[in-house]
Amino acid sequence: MSGSNVPQPLIEARNLTMRFGGVTAIANVDLSVAEGELRCLIGPNGAGKSTFFKMLTGQVMPSEGEILFRGTRINGFEPHDIARLGIGIKTQVPNVFDGLTVRENLWIAASRRNRGKATERAVARELERLELGSIADRLVGQLAHGQRQWIELGLVLLTEPALILLDEPAAGMTEDETVRTAKLIGIIKQSCALIVVEHDMKFIRMIASRITVFDRGRILVEGEADAVLSDQRVRDVYLGKRAA
């Protein structure tokens, strides 16, 4: 548990294991993230990152081990209970309300914590922050991929979580959009902790932080960005393949 210099971590996984039938997707993972920390998870496809996120958000029940959020054991909690505790997730494929307008999308999220006029104000603030004002009354289903990603991010932010899980936030984005997303993450980081799964090394360097490397369901290395990215084992399992 090196690197955890805060007395109580925000979220902590202990001996976390997940098996599907005969396949072990996650094996004995111990991981903890501090309040306000930005952590990157990297690893090749099938390393178990998505499964790990699913367990943190209550979509699947771990086979063994436990997950503690601010000291509360949350395995077995329903996804909405976990969300209410303060964990938000932006999934890899945008999970938004395609049949509703941008404004309505944000309203749904904003009204979780606000009532009446306060909801409208929160929506307006978020539209401004995400620079989506010009398309506020368009149907989300008709928007471009990048815009839908930001709207999803907006949905997550409006619930004011203590921890945000981002699953490949820059995937499929143009260069400009990627830069903008990185900036956004910089802003978000000031108010809450983040765990980011990403393949794009450029992007990771942009938001440079502590990195945990997953490989075949286990943690391979954990450390500061520069150290990890230059680690030979990491290059072997992951970067090597990707570079080739």
From candidates 79, 133, 186, 240, binder to another protein by CB under 8 A: 79
Our finding on whether 111 is near another protein (CB under 8 A) is yes
Q: Return the HEC string of 50-112.
A: HHHHHHHCCCCCCCEEEEEECCEECCCCCHHHHHHHCEEEECCCCCCCCCCEHHHHHHHHHCC
Nearest distance, CB of residue 167 and another protein, angstroms: 12
97 binds another protein (CB under 8 A): yes
Paired residues of 67 in beta bridges: 13
Distance CA 70, CA 64 (A): 19
Rounded Cα distance between 100 and 139, Å, is 5
CB-neighbour burial class of residue 219 (10 A; exposed 0-12, middle 13-18, buried 19+): buried
Closer residue to another protein in complex, CB, 28/95 = 95
Question: Among 52, 107, 214, 238, which residue interacts with another protein (rule: CB under 8 A)?
Answer: 107
User: Is residue 4 part of the contact set for another protein (CB under 8 A)?
Assistant: no
Show the binding pattern over residues 131-150: x = contacts another protein (CB under 8 A), - = does not: --------x-----------
Q: Which of 170, 108, 96, 173 is nearest to 139 (CA)?
A: 96
Q: Choose between 119 and 212: whose C-beta lies nearer to another protein.
A: 119
Count, residues near another protein per rule CB under 8 A? 29
Please compute Rg for the chain using Cα positions: 18
| Binding of another protein by 124 (CB under 8 A) | no
DSSP label at residue 5: -
Using the contact rule CB under 8 A, the part of the chain among 37-45, 69-77, 105-113, 236-244 near another protein is 105-113
**Rounded Cα distance, 235 and 198, in Å:** 15
| CB of 241 vs another protein, minimal distance in Å | 24
CB-wise, 157 or 184, nearer to another protein?
157
User: Pick from 32, 50, 51, 57: which binds another protein (CB under 8 A)?
Assistant: 57
Contact between residue 168 and residue 9 where contact means Cβ atoms under 8 Å apart = no
Counting contacts by CB under 8 A, is residue 104 touching another protein?
yes
Return d(Cα 16, Cα 49) in angstroms, integer.
12
Residue 95 Cβ vs another protein, minimum distance, rounded to whole Å: 4
In the complex, least distance from residue 18 CB atom to another protein, rounded to whole angstroms: 13
Rounded Cα distance, 231 and 211, in Å: 12
Considering the rule CB under 8 A, would residue 89 count as an interface residue with another protein?
yes
Q: For binding to another protein (CB under 8 A), which residues are involved? A: 57, 59-60, 78-80, 83-84, 88-89, 91, 95-101, 104, 107-109, 111-112, 139, 152, 155-156, 159
